[in-house]
């Protein structure tokens, strides 16, 4: 069995301060035995507005944020999933929200660009989000072989699209990562139930680190970072504030459950027409 940690933060607009906090939490997670550490979405900066992330965008493979995560992975000998880092695109006004996975040597072994972008109106006067104004849609689901299991990558708003997770499970995912920055409003309504649903319907562990607290932009994020097992049981959770959520990943138990409760093998073939009769 392996230990995986989800880190909860309440990031602000200063990159260096956020990296210092991330470093503190990575150190704590490593000291507690975590082999993989997953940071939340936008861990390096929660700006005053969406355009701020474009100003700190890095070229893939270089830049202070990527260098910092690589160094932390080597320093503590852990795998690190850098929630999201803004990486440059061909459009100078837009970035990719890229989740990068580093091995214990500090090498990037996977990149997932957030596919579903948060363009919603929660309140006509206060909460309007248009992530696509500054972010390019990713296109490719990503599943990675790691020492901890086969990992499917995703980010935040992806959580609302079960078809993505079905594709990840079809590609053999055993662990689903969902680094997030859920709003307080939507988090209260849907966060836990969606995470547990993704775990149950795919018989996967779900590791969901989040932003959790008040941000200088005036936004409040929901927090409640959690790790949920393949049976939908919450193994650990942190409601608010910075901290470490930690749980064991037992792949033997997962695979035994899949064998005795073979829901995944009962899925109807794509060519099957689902028609009922009265």
How much is the pLDDT for 122?
A: 78
Whether residue 15 lies inside any domain: the answer is yes
**Domain extent for 19:** 2-266
Whether residue 218 lies inside any domain: the answer is yes
pLDDT digits (tens, 9 = 90+) for 130-184: 888 999 999 999 999 999 999 999 999 999 999 999 999 999 999 999 999 999 9
Residue 112: closest CA among 79, 133, 136, 143: 143
Q: Which two tokens stand for residue 107?
A: 């090498």
Whether residue 278 lies inside any domain: the answer is no
Of 53, 156, 184, 204, which is the active-site residue? 156
Average pLDDT value for residue range 82-87 = 98
Whether residue 274 lies inside any domain: the answer is no
Whether residue 122 lies inside any domain: the answer is yes
Q: Global pTM?
A: 0.94
Number of domains in the chain: 1
- Residue 84 pLDDT greater than 90, yes or no: yes
Residue 227: closest CA among 50, 34, 58, 48: 34
Lowest mean pLDDT among 3-7, 50-54, 201-205: 50-54
* Separation of alpha carbons 165 and 170, rounded Å: 8
Provide CB contacts within 8 A for 88, sequence distance 6+. Answer: 57, 58, 59, 60, 95, 96
User: 95-102 and 175-177 as β-strands: parallel, antiparallel, unpaired?
Assistant: unpaired
- Residue 125 pLDDT greater than 70, yes or no: no
Q: What is the CATH number of the domain that holds 162?
A: 3.60.110.10
Whether residue 277 lies inside any domain: the answer is no
Average pLDDT value for residue range 124-133 = 77
Of 53, 58, 94, 114, which is the active-site residue? 114
- Residue 76 pLDDT greater than 50, yes or no: yes
How much is the pLDDT for 23?
A: 98
- Residue 111 pLDDT greater than 80, yes or no: yes
pLDDT digits (tens, 9 = 90+) for 194-248: 999 999 999 999 999 999 999 988 889 999 999 999 999 999 999 999 999 999 9
pLDDT level of residue 278 (50, 70, 90 thresholds): very low
Q: Where are the beta strands (DSSP E) in the chain?
A: 2-8, 36-38, 79-88, 95-102, 108-113, 119-121, 128-130, 135-136, 142-146, 149-153, 175-177, 205-208, 212-214, 220-222, 225-228, 234-238, 243-249
Please confirm, yes or no, whether 41 is among the known catalytic residues.
yes
Average pLDDT value for residue range 111-123 = 89
- Residue 277 pLDDT greater than 50, yes or no: no
> How much is the mean pLDDT over the chain?
94
Q: Which two tokens stand for residue 29?
A: 């997670």
Provide CB contacts within 8 A for 89, sequence distance 6+. Answer: 95, 96, 136
For 18-55, letters b (16+ CB in 10 Å) and e give: bbebbbebbbbbbeeebbbbbbbbbbbbbbeebeebbe
């Amino acid at each position: 069995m392996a230990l995986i940690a989800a880190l909860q933060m309440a990031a602000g607009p200063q990159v260096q301060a956020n990296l210092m906090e991330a470093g503190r939490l990575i150190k704590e997670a490593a000291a507690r035995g975590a082999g993989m550490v997953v940071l939340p979405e936008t861990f390096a900066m929660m700006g005053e507005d969406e355009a701020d992330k474009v100003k700190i965008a890095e070229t893939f493979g270089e830049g202070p944020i990527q260098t910092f995560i690589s160094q932390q992975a080597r320093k503590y000998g852990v795998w690190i999933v850098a929630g999201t880092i803004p990486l440059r695109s061909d459009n100078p006004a837009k970035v990719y929200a890229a989740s990068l996975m580093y091995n214990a040597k500090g090498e990037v072994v996977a990149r997932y660009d957030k596919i579903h972008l948060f363009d919603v109106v929660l309140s006509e006067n206060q909460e309007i989000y248009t992530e696509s104004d500054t972010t390019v849609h990713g296109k490719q689901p990503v599943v990675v072989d790691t020492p901890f299991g086969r990992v499917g990558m995703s980010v935040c708003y992806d959580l609302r699209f079960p078809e993505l997770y079905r594709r990840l499970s079809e590609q053999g995912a055993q662990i689903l990562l969902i680094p997030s920055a859920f709003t307080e409003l939507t988090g209260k309504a849907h966060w836990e139930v969606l995470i547990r649903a993704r775990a149950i319907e795919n018989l996967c562990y779900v590791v969901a680190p989040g932003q959790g607290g008040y941000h200088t932009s005036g936004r409040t994020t929901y927090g409640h970072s959690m790790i949920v097992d393949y049976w939908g049981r919450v193994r650990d959770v942190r409601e608010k504030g910075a901290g470490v959520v930690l749980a064991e990943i037992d792949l033997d138990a997962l695979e035994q459950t899949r064998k005795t409760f073979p829901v995944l093998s009962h899925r109807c073939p794509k060519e099957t027409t689902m028609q009922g009769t009265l």
